[in-house]
Amino acid sequence: MKLGLIAALAGVALANDRCYDEDDKTHYRHGAISYKRGPPGYKGSIYAVCNDGEWECKVSDQVLDQEALPSVDCDQVITEYDIMMEQAANGDDRRLKEAGLMLNPKHAAVWPAGVVCYKLAPGVNETVLPYIKTTEEEYRKKTTVRIISEEQCKTSKIQSICGHCRNYALLDDKKPGCFAFVGYEGKPDQIMNLAPECYADGKPGRVEHEFGHAFGLFHEHAHPDRKIIIIESALATSRNNYVKKTDSEHTAYDTSSIMHYGATGGVCLPKDMTKRFCDINESHDKTGCVIPTLDDCDNEASKVLGQRDGLSPTDVKSIEFLYPKLSNEARSLDKLFAGGKSAQSDESDATKKSDDDDDDDDDDDDDDDDDDDDDDDDDDDDDDDDDDDDDDDDDDDDDDDDDDDDDDDDDDDDDDDDDDDDDDDDDDDDDDDDDDDDDDDDDDDDDDDDDDDDDDDDDD
């Protein structure tokens, strides 16, 4: 008799935990999330979380991995959002721009010339600096983007980066956890928090994860083709970090991405891939999906998730999707602060040197025919540069990078007395840099990002 009463009371409690959605005309379980306005992840979007039978509304600030955002009045924020959108539809988008919102964004706004600037907030624990340095190197060696300090930006005197060095990510550690704004906000003091716990394991992976957000990468586990399931009872960060981004341009889903949460963060690969599991923003009552539990997780298979050992090949592709080529500004920064190195190669220096020597003999005769070959642009002399600079920039960023690595290893900072091959490379780089330092990337116009109320800490 008592067991029956307990079971009945438990059933009532479970039913009372659910929230009714007037728009969908259905119930959602406790912990489920429902987007009310705007695309998931972007600034200004509005979502509601079912908490003990009541909807709690949040407004995204486009910061991922932080703690939960404060609750707001649902009716009020939805009304304000609708008014802004109606005004924008009628040609008046002033309020929309003031709020930093974008209509139908395909990706976060990108940094001009692919360069992220950062500044340490007063009182920040400087033990974070070696991890930032390692992160700079990881992105420099593998991708088309660069990370520099505000001081380096000013030293470079390159006006086309970071809004004349006025816009930067302000690295703070006053709050617990690791979190960052996604993309380029186009203003000073863009949010990035790197508490000591972010590198307490002695590895830079979580710092690299947050800079991935700064460059414009959303979470990989939010991929529309993801294979993982979301365990509501085990989530380590706020729920909006787990919603699929079906509206975004993307590369292939990658379980080994540095932007993917691990099994300790409430995600896992299921034992049974054939089951139709409920997503975090999906109603069991409406679709008949199976509510996932920890028992559904394949713990062994899920070990691949959440690696923080460095950028995966797909992470590199995702960066290059947003920043297709190495900018001339980035080349100049490499000359100033990285000893001329801008290579993105896993090949040995000896192999690359051999390739460079072989190509030197052919380059002088075949420059026009061989613009697409790996070493042509670097080996061609100044005579060819005047004609082919634009082509070289678009097609051979990686080649310039590869040659620069060889130059740096064999010659130490590109002195004029170095080998002929290196002299040629340096001349090319200098020409490229000098010609293009003043070119402004139009990525500034993309900016004024949007949303991501993304919250919370530990799982980056």
Distances (CA, A) of 10 to 4, 172, 233, 245, 416: 10, 45, 17, 35, 80
Contacts of 171 (CB under 8 A, 6+ apart): 118, 119, 120, 121, 124, 128, 132, 192, 193, 194
- 69-74 CB contacts, 8 Å cutoff, 24+ apart: 69/238, 69/453, 69/455, 74/36, 74/46, 74/48
Q: Which of 205, 12, 248, 10 is nearest to 107 (CA)?
A: 248
Contact 379, 425 (CB under 8 A): yes
Could you list the beta-strand ranges (E) of 195-291: 229-230, 267-268
Q: Is 250 annotated as a binding residue?
A: no
Contacts of 268 (CB under 8 A, 6+ apart): 228, 229, 231, 294, 296, 297, 298, 299, 302, 305
- Please state at what angle helix 129-142 crosses helix 205-215, rounded to 10 degrees: 60
Query: How many Å apart are CA 208 and CA 429, to the nearest integer?
Result: 28
Given the residues 136, 138, 185, 210, select the one marked as catalytic: 210
Query: How many Å apart are CA 142 and CA 256, to the nearest integer?
Result: 16
Q: Is 27 annotated as a binding residue?
A: no
For residue 420, count other CB atoms closer than 10 A to its CB. Answer: 11
Contact 207, 132 (CB under 8 A): yes
Q: Which of 200, 57, 175, 67 is nearest to 124 (CA)?
A: 175
Query: How many Å apart are CA 352 and CA 363, to the nearest integer?
Result: 16
Contacts of 349 (CB under 8 A, 6+ apart): 405, 406, 409, 410
Residue with tokens 């998730």: 305
Tokens of 337: 């602060």
Tokens of 25: 């005309």
Q: Is 210 a catalytic residue?
A: yes
CA R_g for the chain: 25
Q: Is 223 annotated as a binding residue?
A: no
**Which residues define the annotated binding site?**
209, 213, 219
Annotated binding site for Zn(2+), which residues? Answer: 209, 213, 219
Q: Which residues are catalytic?
A: 210
